[in-house]
Amino acid sequence: MNNPNSSEENRGQWGSRLGFIMAAAGSAVGLGNIWRFPYVTGENGGAAFVLVYLACVFFIGVPLLLVELSLGRASGRNPIGAFKKTGGGLPFILTGVLCLMACFFVLTYYGVIAGWTISYAWGQVTQQTLVFKEYTANAMSVLPVFAVFIGLTIWIVSAGVEKGIEKWSKILMPVLFVMMVVIIARSLTLDGAEKGLKYYLSPDFSKIDGKVVLMALGQAFFSLSVGWGLMITYGSYMPKSQNIVTNGLWVASADTLVAILAGFMVFPAVFAFGMDPGAGPGLTFVTLPKVFAQMPAGWIFGTIFFCLLSVAALTSSISMLEVPVSYFVDKKSSARKKSAIIVGIVAFLIGIPSAMSNGGSEFFSELQLFGKTGFLDIMDQVFGTLALIVISLMLSIYVGWVWKPESAVKEIEEGCPWFSKPLVGGIAPSQVWSFFIKYICPIVISLVLLNTLGIFSKKDPAPAEPTPKEQTSPEDNASSESQ
């Protein structure tokens, strides 16, 4: 059901340009940047991966970000409403449904991991190093923090677009930045930090292969919050006077900057203490606490670091909850609070198996599907990896071929008149962008999809997105000895 302009006021709008940028950057900057980016970089060879990642962000991620923002602002709707209102047929409306599902289901396990960060922060304050494997296997430690995290998310989303999401993002994002600077200063001044810097900054191009490119692209989508329809919702709250292109570039740059900075926090410290940068998803939860334990006054830095992770996760999880909530608000504008509470509680309940899947319950830990073991990994594979590739593909096909780049360009021009003016060599940015959306994005994303489905290699289907459980054992066993 579309309510025409009448409810426009009640849907909510960003109060200012900075508010939009902070909220959208808040969504983009999350565990993906601070937890996932460093370990994926570590697993894929360091500096060379970083370069490929940057290319993916700016050549595929940013064009798609503009797709989502323009579709959202043109329609003023949630993802389902956006496809409907701009004339999308059933396959696209189903894509909108998939957007809502992806955000919702990712929230169910993202909240679990975010809960861990709260426990780890507390563990640093009380100077007790948690042993990852023991900690995650204990439902009584994991579930309460998961509940707290979802509770905070519900609270902020209930307060609305401007008074909740925008206000808190404007507070939390600068806090996050300051905390990062403190940790980086500490990390770079450790003895032996140069080795980490060298690993992170001098590329070895022989390390680039197909898998590295795929991982980089998957990481770019995950990190930018692109391919979830989320930026459709966030774009729908953007006033026409705002500039989609510069706003989008700010968001992408802030997200990239935080990811790059996360590397400067992690690698110098990891190398200074002789740890393995390729330790995988446990790099944050297993390796870093050991690093902190060896630093003078390390618990202070440890506390700051894990608080930072919790904050980054919170500004992302509110955006995930906002997408399904925006659907209900578009149906009935007074439904915000109630739907935030109900959707949040259901997300918590559906997240329980994920919370129990790192040892808490044998059944959920050993469940196997789509080449993944454990409920959390399976959810991540289906919604955090496959769904977003499908959505990105459908989005580029929709805007490239159905809704047409011209319609999107018309929307983008409002607030950004230079978008369709010839700039360099008589070519307008809009022309380059249209070409990317029509040809480059669908082709590249199709290749990624085929690869993820295991079409290219029968043996090693989906390298995408492992989770902390996969490689924890050796590290953990070692760490149970320490302190």
What mask of x and - would describe binding to ligand PHE in positions 48 to 87, judged by CB under 6 A? ----------------------------------------
- 98 is a contact residue toward ligand PHE (CB under 6 A): no
Our CB check for ligand PHE shows the closer of 103 and 193 to be 103
Residue 175, Cβ neighbours under 10 Å: how many? 12
Stretch of 28-36, 192-200, 269-277, 396-404 contacting ligand PHE, by CB under 6 A: 28-36
Specify the long-range contacts of residues 125-130, CB closer than 8 Å, at least 24 apart. Answer: 125/299, 125/303, 127/299, 129/289, 129/290, 129/293, 129/479, 129/482, 129/483, 130/289
CA 392 – CA 56 distance, rounded (Å): 14
Which residue in the block uniquely carries the two structure tokens 């060599």? 425
Indicate the helix (H) or strand (E) that contains 29: none
Residue 315 in contact with ligand PHE, rule: CB under 6 A: no
Q: Do the Cβ atoms of 179 and 308 come closer than 8 Å?
A: yes
> Is 30 an interacting residue with respect to ligand PHE (CB under 6 A)?
yes
Nearest CB to ligand PHE, comparing residues 62 and 103 = 103
Q: Which is nearer to ligand PHE, 324 or 429 (CB)?
A: 324
Q: Which of residues 396 and 430 has its CB atom nearest to ligand PHE in the complex? A: 396
Among 284, 319, 358, 430, binds ligand PHE (CB under 6 A): 319
Tokens of 95: 């894509």
Work out whether 42 is an interface residue with ligand PHE (CB under 6 A). Answer: no
Site for ligand PHE in 188-227 (CB under 6 A): 222-223, 225
Closest to 312 (Cα-Cα) out of 24, 23, 31: 31
Total length of the chain: 483
Out of 21, 22, 23, 28, point to the residue binding ligand PHE (CB under 6 A): 28
Count, residues near ligand PHE per rule CB under 6 A: 16
Q: Residues 236, 316, 326, 420: which binds ligand PHE (CB under 6 A)?
A: 316
- Here the tokens at position 310 are 């919790």
Which positions ≥6 away from 241 have C-beta within 8 Å? Answer: 414, 415
SS3 22: helix
Helices and strands in the chain: count of H runs, count of E runs = 26, 2
Q: Is 107 or 286 the residue whose CB approaches ligand PHE more closely?
A: 107
Name the residue among 265, 443, 314 with its Cα closest to residue 26.
314
Tell me the closest approach of the beta carbon of residue 53 to ligand PHE, in angstroms: 13
Nearer to ligand PHE, 231 or 286 (CB): 231
Provide the minimum distance between the beta carbon of 117 and ligand PHE in the complex, in angstroms, as a whole number. 12
Min. distance of Cβ 465 from ligand PHE in angstroms?
11
306, containing H or E segment: helix 298-331
Interacting residue with ligand PHE among 49, 53, 228, 375 (CB under 6 A):
228
Least distance (Å) from ligand PHE to the CB of residue 457?
A: 27
32 is an interface residue for ligand PHE by CB under 6 A: yes
27 part of the interface to ligand PHE, by CB under 6 A: yes
Which residues, 424 to 463, sit near ligand PHE by CB under 6 A? none
- Token reading at 451: 């690869």
Q: Give buried/exposed letters for 145-159 (b at 16+ CB in 10 A, else e).
A: bbbbbbebbbebbbb
**Nearer to ligand PHE among residue 235 and residue 429 (C-beta):** 235
DSSP codes of every residue in 268-295: HHHHHTT--TT-TTHIIIIIHHHHHHHS
Least Å distance between CB 21 and ligand PHE? 15
Member of 33, 233, 256, 471 binding ligand PHE (CB under 6 A): 33
By CB under 6 A, name the binding residues for ligand PHE. 27-28, 30-33, 103, 106, 222-223, 225, 228, 230, 316, 319-320
